[in-house]
Chains A and B, each alone.
Chain A
């Protein structure tokens, strides 16, 4: 950057040197985040994997898979993993069902109300999850706001989701609406008005329009959205901790408890590695779809 601006660079006629200099600046600029990434993320990952695989004893380090074996033969741990997967799948499905219509509306509506709806859809982004958790207890919790209203008009109370797996599901869906909607709207930005209008002129109905014109074009965006929500829900902590049942636990609270309460750090790291491997699978989806997207553009 500075090379271009500096008067000196005019003297340097050599294209290679110039390119070389710019390359160096670029490398220096990315060096900081890359070093941080390596130090704070990549290194701990390998460190964690190594700590679960090698046991230090008096005889020296030896290879062992015992914690993994313990995890996968322990029905309690497996129940926690299944619950986490279940919550993730249910949340992802609900998020798609809620956010896709919302995003379609925001993309195609031109009215003023759309701006209000957009504002409302982004609102959850600014509410910290601890606040959200307690607010949900006060509203849909037992004898909460909803029950009071229902009671006032003579209807029976709701079957409160507080302390059941549905508690964190409701909280997590609410919490993830803004990001999901934003990414879907961005994906829908690639669908041209012309294509939609042409299809309409040809007599396509709403469903046909969605199936044949819109969905094929935003498939990539949906994949990105899914991998993002899966990653954030899988690692959720606060909402499952406050709203969820005591057992089975989601992996976030389970890891924390194993680490600080049971004080079995090796087991906690093993749980983290297993969680990480599953998340990495979804991460690979994301990376692949981005790469495919680039190829398609070139």
Chain B
């Protein structure tokens, strides 16, 4: 009999302990925190925690905001799926703000009404947003960053640094093994380099590519030219056609003196310079015939967020002159608002460095087509001995 009791006791203990395990989840949902999920690198989550949130306390002293690192885009997609699943039910999606997310990453979410329409939300900041950065009414571009070419200035003098695509191609062929870019799906620096090749193959007209004009036929029409350009570069790249697996790895090869030139994110390279990862003799150059693409990180707010009002307040605050100026000074990024809404002194100081517009490339279906197309057409290249 004792055995029976002990078995029952065991089950009881098991039940209690599993209930305790489930508790934190329940507690998390009701703890009153506004959850900001980010898929960006740690410099961005640090910026939110150390710059944006302390400043936000002056706007709304009562709000408790928590920044959660979702890891990457796929992590954010999983959280967005949860919000999508909770839509139309009374369940708490446990997320109030997405950082670096676009609505098209969750299929059918716009149609289902998952995202707040910023244009219709009577939001004071929406009119300040740089029109060139706007993609849909459901995402709020709040910081931008462009891809530049970084080079070792001890080996290439600034006058000789390439300023057009053709000069760059000539330089790469004249210096075999000294250029590397990363796989387009593993980081935006290589990704936007590949997109610049697509622009090059299509008359350098960024207008030719929009979020809505993707079709398989149109992609088959526009992309193969770029594959040809990139394939022709391959034999003169590092290791006759090797591609690093991320933004950081490209910077690492530049820092180790293995390559002389590589595409980099502006904010990441400025940080690498200030931290001493890259020497001060690192030069930066942007192509003048058409800049390498940049990108904007976007905020989205789900309509079923528990703290929707605070989330909108926060989104508005992020577009304030205060935060937008700090995006330039502390993050090495570009403002999401038009330059008229940035501190005048800063505008003067950066006016030569920062182009009036950054060409962008739409995401959506183009992403998969470009990335997979690159893997199938460019990456295999010629066989390397």
Contact yes or no, B372 A261, CB < 8 A: yes
A262: chain B residues within 8 A (beta carbon): 368, 371-372
Q: Mark B249-288, 1 if CB is under 8 A from A, else 0.
A: 1001100111000000000000000000000000000000
Does any Cβ of B come within 8 Å of A245's Cβ? yes
Give A242-284 interface residues, CB cut-off 8 Å to B. 242, 245-249, 257, 260-264
Contact yes or no, B242 A246, CB < 8 A: yes
A21: chain B residues within 8 A (beta carbon): 3
Knowing A143-B257, A262-B368, A262-B371 are in contact, say whether A8-B245 is a contact too (CB < 8 A): no
Taking a contact as CB atoms closer than 8 A, the residue among B1, B73, B242 that contacts A245 in the complex is: B242
Residue of B nearest to A79 (CB): B380
| Min C-beta distance of A232 to chain B, whole Å | 21
Contact yes or no, A247 B379, CB < 8 A: yes
Contact yes or no, B243 A163, CB < 8 A: yes
B242: chain A residues within 8 A (beta carbon): 162-164, 245-246
Contact yes or no, A246 B256, CB < 8 A: no
Does any Cβ of A come within 8 Å of B367's Cβ? yes
B381: chain A residues within 8 A (beta carbon): 247
Contact yes or no, A3 B74, CB < 8 A: no
| Min C-beta distance of B39 to chain A, whole Å | 12
Knowing A2-B3, A2-B7 are in contact, say whether A137-B252 is a contact too (CB < 8 A): yes
Residue of A nearest to B259 (CB): A142
Does any Cβ of A come within 8 Å of B90's Cβ? no
Contact yes or no, A143 B258, CB < 8 A: yes
The main secondary structure of chain B at its interface with chain A is helix
Contact yes or no, A247 B375, CB < 8 A: yes
Q: Mark B35-62, 1 if CB is under 8 A from A, else 0.
A: 0000000000000000000000000000
Contact yes or no, A142 B372, CB < 8 A: no
Does any Cβ of A come within 8 Å of B185's Cβ? yes
Contact yes or no, A28 B183, CB < 8 A: no
The main secondary structure of chain A at its interface with chain B is loop
Knowing A2-B6, A6-B2, A164-B384 are in contact, say whether A144-B256 is a contact too (CB < 8 A): yes
Q: Number of A-B pairs whose CB atoms are under 8 Å?
A: 73
Contact yes or no, A163 B239, CB < 8 A: yes
Contact yes or no, A142 B379, CB < 8 A: no
Does any Cβ of B come within 8 Å of A241's Cβ? yes
Does any Cβ of B come within 8 Å of A7's Cβ? yes
| Min C-beta distance of A88 to chain B, whole Å | 21
Contact yes or no, B2 A2, CB < 8 A: yes
Q: How many residues of B contact A (CB 8 A)?
A: 31
Does any Cβ of B come within 8 Å of A76's Cβ? yes
Give B1-28 interface residues, CB cut-off 8 Å to A. 1-3, 6-7
Contact yes or no, A163 B244, CB < 8 A: yes
| Min C-beta distance of B2 to chain A, whole Å | 4
| Min C-beta distance of A58 to chain B, whole Å | 17
Does any Cβ of A come within 8 Å of B128's Cβ? no
Residue of A nearest to B74 (CB): A260
Q: Please, how many angstroms separate the alpha-carbon atoms of A123 and B367 in the complex?
A: 42
Give B331-385 interface residues, CB cut-off 8 Å to A. 367-368, 371-372, 375-376, 379-381, 384
B245: chain A residues within 8 A (beta carbon): 241-242, 246
Contact yes or no, A7 B372, CB < 8 A: no
Give A71-87 interface residues, CB cut-off 8 Å to B. 76, 79
Residue of B nearest to A260 (CB): B74
Residue of B nearest to A143 (CB): B256
A245: chain B residues within 8 A (beta carbon): 242-243, 379
Q: Mark A156-183, 1 if CB is under 8 A from B, else 0.
A: 0000001110000000000000000000
| Min C-beta distance of B190 to chain A, whole Å | 10
A142: chain B residues within 8 A (beta carbon): 253, 256, 258
| Min C-beta distance of A82 to chain B, whole Å | 12
B2: chain A residues within 8 A (beta carbon): 2, 6-8
Name the 4 nearest CB pairs between A and B, nearest first: A247-B379, A163-B242, A246-B243, A2-B3
Please, could you name 6 A-B residue pairs with CB atoms under 8 Å apart, sorted by A? A2-B3, A25-B3, A142-B256, A246-B242, A260-B74, A261-B372
Chain A residues packing against B (C-beta within 8 Å)? 2-3, 6-9, 21, 25, 28, 76, 79, 137, 141-144, 162-164, 241-242, 245-249, 257, 260-264
